[in-house]
Structure 1
Amino acid sequence: MPTAARLMGAICLAIVAFAVSGMVMPLMPESTDFGYFIPVNIVLGLCAGWFVMGKRAGRGITAAINNGLTGVFVLMLWGVGIQSINEMVRLAMRNRYDDVFEAMTAVFTIGADYVWTISTVPIGISLLISAVVAGLLTEFAGKRWR
């Protein structure tokens, strides 16, 4: 059921996804073709905000901060997962893998490489601050517009 908290959570995490995607792009090799990188991450932010943060609003300030941290963690988990699967499929189309099991294990290797690449202080600080702000805004929307 649509609520103001779900909408606010979706909007906040979509903005976070857009901002962090812009911070991640310079960290990748110059030859990287990003394609639909930003739009996919924005859709993931919308989904994470709507389904994860929005339904958990209305429980107080401490729960709101935890809700924001959970929402941003889920956004990053989904983002790294989807982008890793995308890269694995791209490499599979070039016949880099001998069998399905090797391709499926490559998703985790690629994901670990992505996490290692984006583990920088500026991204960590921006994720932490945006998580707190997104959680508080979602809580405010949940209490204000019932």
Structure 2
Amino acid sequence: MPNAARLVAALCVGGLALIVSVQVMGLMPDSADFGYFTYVNGLIGLCVGWIVVGKRAGRGLAAAINNGLSGVLMLLLWALFVHACVEMVDRALANRYGDVFQAIVAVLKLMAEYGLVLLDTLAIATLIAGGLVSGLLTEYAWRSGR
């Protein structure tokens, strides 16, 4: 059911995904080709905000903070999973895996490798602050939009 809280959550988490994507692009070598990296992350952020964060609005201030932080965690997990799957498919098309199990293990390894890039102080601080703000703004929108 569409409401103001879901819209605000989608915009906040989607915007946060775009901001962190630009920060991550600065951490990578100049020769890296990002393609649709920021757009994919923005779309994932919109979906996570709408489905996860916006759905759980209206449970109080402490729950709003937890909601925002768990939304950021879901954003990270889905973004890492999607980008690892894309890389695995590219490698699979180049015949780098002998069987399906190797490809599945490669997704987990790639998620871990990509996650290590996010161990930057600025990226972590941005994610935490963005999660707090997203949760609080979503809660405010839920209270105002009733």
Give the TM-score band, short-chain normalised: over 0.9
Match of 2:101 in 1: 101
Match of 1:48 in 2: 48
Moved over 4 A (4+): none
Q: Secondary structure at the match of 1:59?
A: coil
Cα deviation for residue 30 of structure 1 reads 3.1
Cα deviation for residue 34 of structure 1 reads 1.0
What amino acid does structure 1 have at the position aligned with 2:137?
A: L
**Rounded Cα–Cα distance in structure 1 between residues aligned with 2:55 and 2:63:** 12
Please report the TM-score for the alignment, with normalisation by the length of structure 2: 0.97
Q: Secondary structure at the match of 1:34?
A: coil
The count of aligned residue pairs is: 146
**Rounded Cα–Cα distance in structure 2 between residues aligned with 1:57 and 1:47:** 15
Match of 2:128 in 1: 128
Match of 1:31 in 2: 31
Q: Which runs of 5+ in 2 are unaligned?
A: none
Cα deviation for residue 92 of structure 1 reads 1.2
**Rounded Cα–Cα distance in structure 2 between residues aligned with 1:5 and 1:58:** 9
**Rounded Cα–Cα distance in structure 2 between residues aligned with 1:120 and 1:133:** 20
Please report the TM-score for the alignment, with normalisation by the length of structure 1: 0.97
Q: Which runs of 5+ in 1 are unaligned?
A: none
Q: How does 1:67-146 map to 2 (within 5 A)?
A: 67-146=67-146
Cα deviation for residue 29 of structure 1 reads 3.2
**Rounded Cα–Cα distance in structure 1 between residues aligned with 2:27 and 2:20:** 11
What amino acid does structure 2 have at the position aligned with 1:2?
A: P
**Rounded Cα–Cα distance in structure 1 between residues aligned with 2:20 and 2:5:** 22
**Rounded Cα–Cα distance in structure 2 between residues aligned with 1:107 and 1:31:** 23
Cα deviation for residue 28 of structure 1 reads 2.3
**Rounded Cα–Cα distance in structure 2 between residues aligned with 1:109 and 1:28:** 18
1:18 correspondence with 2:13: no
What amino acid does structure 2 have at the position aligned with 1:8?
A: V
**Rounded Cα–Cα distance in structure 1 between residues aligned with 2:134 and 2:93:** 38
**Rounded Cα–Cα distance in structure 2 between residues aligned with 1:73 and 1:33:** 25
What amino acid does structure 2 have at the position aligned with 1:63?
A: A
